[in-house]
Amino acid sequence: MSVPDLDLDLLRCFLAVAETGGFTAAADRVGRTQSAVSQKISRLEGVLGCRLFDRTSRSLALTADGERLMGPARRMLEVNDETVRQFVTPRVVGRLRLGVADDFIPHQLPRLLARFTRACPGLSLELTTAMSCELLSLLEDGRLDLAIAKRDGTMQRGRIIWREPLVWIAAEDFVLDPARPVPLVSLPPPCTYRGTMLKALDAAGRASTIACTASSLMGIQAAVKGGLGVTVLGRCFVAEGLRILGPRDQWPALPMTEIVLLGEDRTQDHLARPLVSFLTDCLTDQGIGLIV
């Protein structure tokens, strides 16, 4: 029996629906009408001979077969996109010194950078990871070409490439003593999240104390998981053993965190452009954040 070829356009629409959670948002991502996306999902289900989504008037969820298709669909699109880039993108040769904030997509960054080096094999990448304030200093001193850093109240420039909600995080079994100040886990100052926590709790009239100061984001996760206190981080840092504390638990609302790309104006354009284009394409395709 001959095996039918899978249309990559159908797979792209499938991932858009699965990752955005609806046909309307998926249509916006892929630039098609909602009915066109629905038709493509029906075609893909016809080719595979199974239902990929359970649909009701109020909800949409992946079936077991839909979950099974997610991994292969992503890999097929990655291979396609990387292959096309190798032929349609001019070969770039040079060295790019890139600084990346610790909290930029921690679980996705290694995979993204590996894909980038495969797509631009002639570009030598020197990677520095540090806190955003340290990266800004290195950039100003000319020791970095580009930096991916967290935007805060003192630094408003740069191209926004990613947004994510900030959340209150605690251990799954954490119990707050209402008679005592809220114990906080934080990086040492200057740290944007530290200021955000203190400001939000102060505005809500809740006393707080820095119970633990960690030297890294991994240290913060470990301290919070160990029950030493509560912290504020991006939603992507909610790992096993941790939970989000929300309005139902009387925790104050938090702003979005914004990650920006800095240094485009001072870096040789032919070196910066491939990385900017790659990050924009990848983050948009994977629905990791909002690209502006």
- Domain of residue 155, CATH code: 3.40.190.10
Domain extent for 57: 8-88
One-letter amino acid at 66 equals G
Residue pLDDT, tens place only, 109-146: 777 777 777 777 777 888 898 888 888 889 988 899 88
Predicted pLDDT of residue 292 = 34
Residue with more model confidence, 88 or 95: 95
How far apart (Å, rounded) are the C-alpha atoms in residues 282 and 19?
Answer: 13
| Residue that terminates a domain, selected from 66, 88, 110 | 88
How far apart (Å, rounded) are the C-alpha atoms in residues 143 and 208?
Answer: 38
Residue 184, both tokens: 């906080």
Predicted pLDDT of residue 106 = 56
Predicted pLDDT of residue 152 = 67
Q: Same domain for 175 and 125?
A: no
Predicted pLDDT of residue 280 = 65
Q: Same domain for 118 and 262?
A: yes
**290 pLDDT above the threshold of 60:** no
| Residue that terminates a domain, selected from 88, 113, 148 | 88
Total of domains in the chain = 3
Q: Is residue 105 part of a domain?
A: yes
- Contact between 220 and 186 under an 8 Å Cβ cutoff? The reply is yes
Q: Same domain for 105 and 179?
A: no
Confidence of residue 291 (pLDDT cuts 50, 70, 90): very low
Give 124's strand partners: 95
Q: Same domain for 171 and 247?
A: yes
How far apart (Å, rounded) are the C-alpha atoms in residues 68 and 245?
Answer: 31
Predicted pLDDT of residue 39 = 94
Q: Same domain for 145 and 203?
A: no
Q: Cα–chain-centroid distance for residue 67?
A: 21
Residue pLDDT, tens place only, 10-64: 999 999 898 888 888 888 888 888 899 999 999 999 999 999 998 877 778 899 9
* C-alpha distances in Å from residue 256, one per residue of 74, 199, 235: 27, 15, 10
Residue pLDDT, tens place only, 274-289: 777 777 666 655 544 4
Q: What's this model's pTM, rounded to 2 decimal places?
A: 0.61
CA dihedral 167→168→171→174, nearest 10 degrees, is -150
CATH code, domain with 82: 1.10.10.10
Question: 100: helix, coil or strand?
Answer: strand
Predicted pLDDT of residue 89 = 64
Predicted pLDDT of residue 122 = 78
Longest distance between any two alpha carbons in the chain, whole Å: 71
Q: Same domain for 114 and 153?
A: yes
Residue pLDDT, tens place only, 149-199: 887 655 557 777 777 788 999 999 999 998 999 999 998 888 888 989 999
Predicted pLDDT of residue 105 = 60
H helix and E strand count, the chain: 9, 11
Question: 6: helix, coil or strand?
Answer: coil
How far apart (Å, rounded) are the C-alpha atoms in residues 286 and 274?
Answer: 18
Which H or E element spans position 94? strand 94-101
One-letter amino acid at 72 equals P
Residue pLDDT, tens place only, 203-225: 999 999 999 999 888 899 999 99
**98 pLDDT above the threshold of 60:** yes
Residue 129, burial from CB neighbour count under 10 angstroms (0-12, 13-18, 19+) = middle
Is residue 190 reached through a cis peptide bond, with omega within 30 degrees of 0 on the bond before it?
yes
